[in-house]
Structure 1
């Protein structure tokens, strides 16, 4: 059972589809009016961390146009995505979505929008690694095999958190539990920030999260990393083996993120925004920040990004059915 985006595979895919050379920045029609960037995630999440690091460069790429980040978490990303879908297609409101955007149609019976047709996909920008973390004072296990043994020895004792029912972090946690042959209670949160806070506080014992969102907590010892969820180790966590290295080869998942706008965004605005995104993420300060966060950055063209969204939605539909994920 493959629940995964392989980091090597996605790197190759992105590289093959990336734009060649530096993009030319197109001046915004009204750079005095802020560009609204809606994030359907809470503060402190992986996407939030990425975009706040990239915002200064994006402002430069937009020739000084202000950029305002707006966090609108809830319902696995549906709350914020609804705002993006309903925004005027004038290039003044965009959003940054992740795997959840194409997972949601398979886990929610009713959706307020079509995840493909009600959006303009501007660029799949890159991917970020996930890691399974635990509260070190609540969970004595130091690695995946020890965690598996602990969960089997003490059923109904531990819980794992996610950023919401049916989210990619929910699926990633369920993926490990399935591979380990254990049944652990799932506790959904409205965003990564509250989830991480409660793992650190001991209200829940473990969860899967993007590496950029917990680098500080891992460094301070507030959280312990059990294993990297992809096939490749993370440079900033050299001593943390992958789940595959620890005997769980089917546990392989990473998070991608993409810039989108409302449907019917004019081609000129798509070109303008795509060029700004490519330019922003190619600036030295942003590249340095992304490297520190272990993110793989290779922006895809709008056309390739749309094809990627469609393929991912179909893939996750199969995975959700196989995992029997339901949203109450």
Structure 2
């Protein structure tokens, strides 16, 4: 949706762009079905965290819409780490399961890293396994973390060719910041990563054509951090309390930033829908890699 005020940034519509991705996935799932190949995603939820319940429900719903078979596995909060690892081993060995997603966070007594690295890398649709992380850095075709992949699609749809642009990634997490910087490098951007120890971070950010923010601090980045005309991707999603109740906001002060930026992702409705879309795209790609089948939209976008 483009603002009626030309002085304000236009919104980058993650819902509309994610719908395009889901249409591509649906088309390729139909192609595979004609070859008797049926992609399947296994989702494992441990405990009864309300937010995780919502996320899993949305993922399963989107999977059904594009024709991907979904399998839901639930373990109680008291399940042991060995219980989780045994289930993952069974899913790794099941040739009818193409993707495995363990919904995070896990209960405190379970080692998340041990669980993530127990998943077969070619079924790791979150893209968190160390083999996928290393392959991404080396430029090998692997399953790539969903949120950074979705952010790249938003940028490509908004900016076109990214080569030569200066991108600043605010945040250096393994889930978003680091893979985001790697993908931007692969798109021939000049990339800076800003973090809590960076000196004069706002000045570094004001040099950027593209700013991707993933720090988990509500409304931390305002117009003073941005170069006029910058494109802003806000990965954050934070619930804050105001006089009128609670609401969701990003890591960017949207009202302030859009007075300087040329385009910006709203929260909600920006990055969020892209994460689920690329989870399903990863499931499609995983099924193709496992069967040695490549189709028109197979390559990461």
TM-score when normalising by structure 1? 0.33
TM-score when normalising by structure 2? 0.35
- Which structure is higher in RCO with an 8 Å CA cutoff and minimum separation 6? 1
